Amino acid sequence: MTNAGTLHRIPTRPWRWVPWLVLSQLAVILVWVLAGWHWGLALMVASHALFMVPVFLPNSRFYAPVLSRLPEAGNSVWLTIDDGPSEQTPAVLDLLDRHQAKATFFLVGERVLAHPALVEEILRRGHDLGNHSHSHPQARFWRLGPGTMAAEIEGCQQALQAVSGRRVRWYRSVVGMTNPFVAPVLRKLGLVRVGWSARGYDGVGCTPDGVLARLLPDLRPGAIVLLHEGAAHGHNLAIIEQVLQVLDERGLKAGLPCSNSASPRDHV
């Protein structure tokens, strides 16, 4: 699969958005004074939207670089499975073995500490790990301040390191949301933010057929496929199995980015 050295997009300028914020607000003041409050207020609302909307766009590069597709992937896709480890993890691993597929499990730190044996089993079967926050605060992740955001990402990283003994390189934001305080932590820890190009919304209430209908058009070479385990709806295993069957039918291989190269920083 694609060499991991070409995939590393660790933030090198995590505060690059600050000058744009300053300039936008200076423009608001200038317009307010010269053209009146009606125009000034409209520009202020627009400028705030400019900085808020990217928080909720999973593949936006506004606040941090993101890997959303695999370059030069051949016939490969990258399966990523969020929210574990869970009681479904052993069954997920069995499905992957049956289809000779590999995946990266983006794990939650608290769950890692609660189920260290499952983490060890993921690694024993040849899969990879990623950082998916320490407590998965999905309702408020978008608005976490710098201290709490750092605690979420660093806490998960410490849990993964303690249990696996390995340096984890990949990170995925909770629900894909990335505010201004994510990039500085990624730079400090040397983490690469991973988005996706194929998503079926299987982490919320859904049916397998509905998920597959949303996923199928995007299951092609180079796709980063977002899947989940342990969701309350109980359909994750059926969905994962159907995705693996489709990959087999299309001659696509679920593999991992190679890990035998250096990790250069991407100046973005």
Sorted by where each begins, the domain ranges of the chain are 18-56, 63-254
State percent of the chain over pLDDT 90: 84
Q: What is the pLDDT of residue 203?
A: 85
**Beta carbons of 183 and 61 less than 8 angstroms apart:** no
Exposure string of 95-132, with b = 16+ CB inside 10 Å and e = fewer, is bbeebebbbbbbbbbebbbebeebbeebeeeebbbbbb
CATH for 63-254 is 3.20.20.370
Query: Does residue 266 carry a catalytic annotation?
Result: no
Catalytic one of 82, 83, 128, 202: 82
The pLDDT assigned to 1 comes to 58
The per-residue pLDDT of the chain, averaged, comes to 91
Choose the catalytic residue: 8, 115, 127, 228: 228
Active site residue 228: yes
Q: What is the pLDDT of residue 71?
A: 84
Residue 225 clears pLDDT 70, i.e. is over it: yes
Cβ atoms 103, 127 nearer than 8 A: yes
Compute the average pLDDT of residues 148-163: 98
At residue 265, the pLDDT reads 35
Q: Is the pLDDT of residue 168 over 80?
A: yes
Check whether 264 has a pLDDT greater than 50. no
CA distance 260 to 1: 12
Structure tokens, 180: 């201004």
